[in-house]
Amino acid sequence: MRIDRFLKAAGLGLVCALAPIAAVGPEAQNLRVVQGSVGRALSVPMNRAVVVESDIPFAELSIANPAIADISSLSDRTIYVLGKAPGTTTLTILDDAGRLISNVDVRVAADVAEFKERLGQILPGEAIEVRTANDGIVLSGTVSSVQSLDRALDLAERYAPERVSNLMSVGGVQQVMLKVRFAEMQRSVSKALRSSLSLIGDGFGGDLGVRATTGGSIGNTAVGQAAPQPSSTGAALLGFDVGGLEVGILLEALESKGVVRTLAEPNLTALSGQEAGFLAGGEYPVPVAQEGGTVSVDFKPFGIELNFVPRVVDGELINLELKTAVSAIDPANGVQADGFSINAFSRREASTTVELRDGESFAIAGLLQDDFSDLNGQVPWIGDIPVLGALFRSAEYQRSQTELVIIITPHLVTPTRGEALALPTDRVRPPSEKDLFLYGRVTDGSRRPNSGGAGEVARQDFNGSYGYVMD
């Protein structure tokens, strides 16, 4: 009896000595071993311990791989098993005659009990299943967002570095339709006042002609002509004779105003995390000199360009990595090279990353450009003469303003049936013979849209004031 009590006390002391080695966690498991078999395999968390009880007293214990699990006897019927490293090994139990009592499969895996507890605290409500496989952790189930998936993987790496298998899927809507609106207004005003004076008289057996001008290509005057001839809009010609002297005065005053309105609304849909591109315009051929004197052609795109990568972060929160550009051919700034005429390009682009929710809008770029030029010219000395000097002076005034705004709006979308989608051609029907020959209609006018964007365009008559107001 005293020996039995002594063995129990020694076993209790060994348990207390090994307790600091094991991580703090749930209570040790108990596995009962009967003659020749066990009820189930023994699962031991890494750095934790379980207790194995045998119905038959044993005399000898053996572990196949001590690096995976460590064993010690608490009594002739109780075994203490400590998990050391992930893996599977075998525990052999023998009696005092050397006969085999049983072989117990010991499986040591990462401690998922604490991991499950921490996962429930950090991501409550997420249906994530945690399993062990060999020496790693397997995560499965459905999460609500990519952000929750990344958090679960980061936490699992803390318990099994580089041994985490991800079988999770993201639920909810993961397709994003991006609506981009380009709105641009251009307003230009120019004013010019020029003058030209010519004198024609007889002298020394021939005609003597004198002309003074302060403008370019205002008029044409040759010897023997009575006065300069107007060659542009807004010119007034005055002429009179003083004896044998003919006097011609050409005054040119020109004012021009222009308004350009540009509006584009490209829409593009992409899967979360995938890049999508859009181009509405064309490609311009640009000659490129090669080695050996040959010339190749490189095509440069122009028009409305859009590239973006959407990421559904959490619920309806969308992260957008966006790059967009508006370009057009600009012949006024072209160059001549090796017999080729190459046009320039006017280009405005924006590249940014923003976060916003479904249906919210962001003005990601705005450009207001105001160009002003004023030029005065005169004939030297003569233009400084009071009153008469006004005929030898010219003045030009030009001003142009451009404003460009880019607004983006993302939407979470799902596929729909094809019958629910409308095409632009659905609203256009060929005209009947009556509409074509009697009324001069090129389409059937009975289906005029009244609502939506098509109805708004149909109601516009493009009359009235647009753009800036300049004084």
How confident is the model over 349-366, as a mean pLDDT? 89
pLDDT in tens, 66-89: 898 999 888 888 888 998 888 888
Which of 108-122, 265-279, 445-459 is predicted with the least confidence, judged by mean pLDDT? 445-459
3-state secondary structure the chain: CHHHHHHHHHHHHHHHHHCCCCCCCCCCCEEEEECCEECCCEEEEECCEEEEEECCCCCEEEECCCCCEEEEECCCCEEEEEECCCEEEEEEEECCCCCEEEEEEEEEECCHHHHHHHHHHHCCCCEEEEEEECCEEEEEEEECCHHHHHHHHHHHHHHCCCCEEEEEEECCCCEEEEEEEEEEEEEEEEEEEEEEEEEEEEECCEEEEEEEECCCCCEECCCCCCCCEECCCCEEEEEEEECCEEEEEEEEEEEEEEEEEEEECCEEEEECCCCEEEEEEEEEEEEEECCCCCEEEEEEEEEEEEEEEEEEEECCEEEEEEEEEEEEEEEEEEEEECCEEEEEEEEEEEEEEEEEECCCCEEEEEEEEEEEEEEEEECCCHHHCCCHHHHHEEEEEEEEEEEEEEEEEEEEECCCCHHHCCCHHHHCCCCCHHHHHHCCCCCCHHHCCCCHHHHHHHHCCCCCCCCCCCC
Domains of the chain: 38-109 (2.60.40.1380), 112-170 (3.30.1340.30), 179-183+260-374+396-413 (no CATH), 418-458 (no CATH)
Q: How confident is the model at residue 220 (pLDDT cuts 50, 70, 90)?
A: very low
- Separation CA 268–CA 306 (nearest Å): 9
The tokens of 107 are what? 């499986």
pLDDT at 199: 67
How confident is the model over 355-384, as a mean pLDDT? 84
pLDDT at 383: 73
Greater confidence (56 vs 25) lies with 56
pLDDT at 447: 58
Question: What are the beta bridge partners of residue 67?
Answer: none
The whole-model pTM stands at 0.55
pLDDT at 210: 53
How confident is the model over 4-25, as a mean pLDDT? 45
pLDDT at 181: 87
Residues of the chain with pLDDT > 70, as a percent, come to 75
Which of 50-59, 226-235, 354-363, 442-451 is predicted with the least confidence, judged by mean pLDDT? 226-235
pLDDT at 352: 92
pLDDT in tens, 153-192: 998 888 888 888 888 887 766 789 999 888 888 888 888 8
pLDDT at 309: 92
Q: Cβ distance 325 to 347 under 8 Å? A: yes
pLDDT at 354: 92
Q: Above 50 in pLDDT, residue 93? A: yes
Q: Above 70 in pLDDT, residue 445? A: no
Q: Above 80 in pLDDT, residue 201? A: no
Q: Above 50 in pLDDT, residue 109? A: yes
Mean of pLDDT over the chain:
76
For residues 359-371, one letter each, b for 16 or more C-beta atoms within 10 angstroms of the residue's C-beta and e for the rest, the string is eeebebbeeeeee
Q: Above 70 in pLDDT, residue 40? A: no
Q: How confident is the model at residue 307 (pLDDT cuts 50, 70, 90)?
A: very high
Q: Above 50 in pLDDT, residue 396? A: yes
Which of 34-48, 376-390, 404-418 is predicted with the least confidence, judged by mean pLDDT? 34-48
Q: How confident is the model at residue 209 (pLDDT cuts 50, 70, 90)?
A: low
pLDDT at 410: 92
Is 177 exposed, middle or buried, given 0-12, 13-18 or 19+ CB atoms closer than 10 A?
middle
How confident is the model over 234-255, as a mean pLDDT? 74
How confident is the model over 334-348, as a mean pLDDT? 81
pLDDT at 308: 92
